[in-house]
Amino acid sequence: MRKNKSHTTLLKMENKIINKVQADISVAEEPQFNIYGEVEPDVIEKSVWDKSIKVEENGYYWKKDPVFTKGSEITNDKPIIVELFCGCGGTSMGFEMAGFEVLLGCDIHAPSIQTFKANHPNCSTILGDVKKVDPTTIKELLNGRPLDVIIAGVPCQGFSLNNRKRHQEDDRNLMYKEFVRFIEILQPKVVVLENVSGMKSTGNFVEEIEKDLSRAGKMTVKSKLLYAPDYGVPQKRSRLIFVGIKDDEFDFNSIHKTHGPETDKPYVTIKDAIGDLPSLKPKETKKKYKTQPFSEYQELMRINTNGSVECHTAPNHPKDTIDKIKNTKPGEPMYQKFKQRIRLAWDIQSPTQVSGGIRPQFQFGHPQDARGLTIRERCRIQNFPDDFIVKGGTVQGRVQTGNAVPPLLAKAVALAIKKYL
């Protein structure tokens, strides 16, 4: 249990600040269309979306002094985690599923922190640039307890295979140095860092990071590429995971695969993942399930719901985009220049879901309906259960779900780590 003293007041203060961030952004008076023909009614002023502006420099990224919101005190004996660059909280959710307690999440993206707080209401949060955050803030929150696990999902744009301009000189690639700074001061029992698979093919960054994390934590840090479908994720997504254990060496073979050829369960398909969600026309919203779950995955996604579906609103497409999706065979690309932008098929896993930068368009067409995916469907493909709350609207919901680590992948890693604590 946690002692919750002034949480409600602090949460109101944080939401007021975040809402001010969004209010400060100018909204276009008329709906606009992106290059794929999708209506974008919430376009902010043109200068913010200039192609020369990096993702983290748009108006949703907090540039002022960090805003700290204190959560309630931890009074149980569960192992404690802190997550830097937490995004909307996919990794934290996976560790919670494995029996860990989340102490704090920190991120510069205002809608992500709003989402993190909505789904981890008792946690402390820091909205702001991690470079401006003092690690002793976390020491004070620990109140004399040792930190069990520190986690970071450092910015990956410079490494991502989906970034056609990626290169190893991208200054975002060195953000892991901030993670090193926290490790040096907090000296956790376990260090976990995740990034995209493209890091392995960009210079010698993997070896450098292993060396720096090992030195900072006084431990041996190793890394391995994990394939998300092996852990029940209906998405062909690979993540590079670094793990270090104090006074021990982590065995990646202890991460138990739950699906695939090495198990008795087949990979989860798109039909398994989203086939029970209500069919929609463009712009349509439905808030009730129309069918009973017909897969184990759907049952898992619905476990804490009361029969209602949130964030299940179809994108607002013009007729030519609807026709484009309708005339594309499931499993095939909708646009020849963008092979990853396919119309999904029921019997496959999704390609890697991406955030899409600061103006993310719909990425996938629905297998049956002539439309893009809803935020709820994107959440399902990323393992977020149906009671997971996404803040910030459709566009920022795409950013958050595309950047996230699938909770079931994180859970598998967490269960293996727990054996060492």
Higher pLDDT, 374 or 359: 374
* Average of per-residue pLDDT across 79-88: 97
DSSP 221-269: EEEEEEEGGGGT-SB--EEEEEEEETTB---GGGS---SSTTSSSPPPP
Residue 9 has pLDDT above 60, yes or no: no
Q: What pLDDT score does 160 carry?
A: 42
HEC string of 151-181 equals: EECCCCCCCCCCCCCCCCCCHHHHHHHHHHH
Q: Is residue 366 packed enough to be buried (19+ CB in 10 Å), middle (13-18) or exposed (0-12)?
A: buried
CA separation, residue 210 to residues 123, 205, 217 (Å): 29, 8, 11
pTM for the model stands at: 0.84
Residue 157 in 3-state DSSP? coil
86 is catalytic: no
- Calpha distance 405→421 (Å, rounded): 23
Whether 170 shows a pLDDT value over 80: the answer reads no
Structural domains in the chain plus CATH codes: 58-262+406-418 (3.40.50.150)
Angle at which helices 90-97 and 407-418 cross, to 10°: 50
Model confidence at 308: pLDDT above 70: yes
Residue 339 has pLDDT above 60, yes or no: yes
- 107 Cβ contact partners less than 8 Å away, ≥ 6 residues apart: 84, 85, 86, 87, 113, 116, 126, 127
Percent of the chain, pLDDT > 70? 80
Count of other CB atoms within 10 angstroms of residue 222: 17
Q: Which residues pair with 68 in a beta bridge?
A: 126
Looking at residue 53, what is its pLDDT? 44
Question: Using CB atoms within 10 A of its CB, is residue 297 exposed (0-12), middle (13-18) or buried (19+)?
Answer: buried
Write down the mean pLDDT value for the chain. 84
Mean pLDDT of 380-395: 94
What number of residues does the chain have?
A: 421
Q: What pLDDT does 161 receive? A: 41
Give all strands (DSSP E) within 307-381, no chain letters: 333-335, 338-342
Conformation bin of residue 143: beta by default, left when phi > 0, alpha when psi is -120 to 50: left
What is the CB-side half-sphere exposure of residue 145 using CA atoms within 13 A? 19
What pLDDT is stored for residue 197 in this prediction?
Answer: 80
In whole angstroms, give the CA distance from residue 274 to residue 302: 11
**Residue 255 dihedral angles phi and psi, to the nearest 5°:** -80, 110
State yes or no: pLDDT of 28 exceeds 60.
Answer: no
Which of 86, 88, 123, 156 is the catalytic position? 156
CB 314 within 8 A of CB 301: no
Least confident of 20-34, 223-237, 325-339, 341-355: 20-34
Hunting for tokens 């602090």 — which residue is that?
10
Separation CA 375–CA 88 (nearest Å): 13
pLDDT at 317 over 50: yes
Mean pLDDT of 80-90: 97
How far, in Å, CA of 291 to CA of 296, rounded? 14
Nearest to 110 by CA among 192, 24, 170: 24
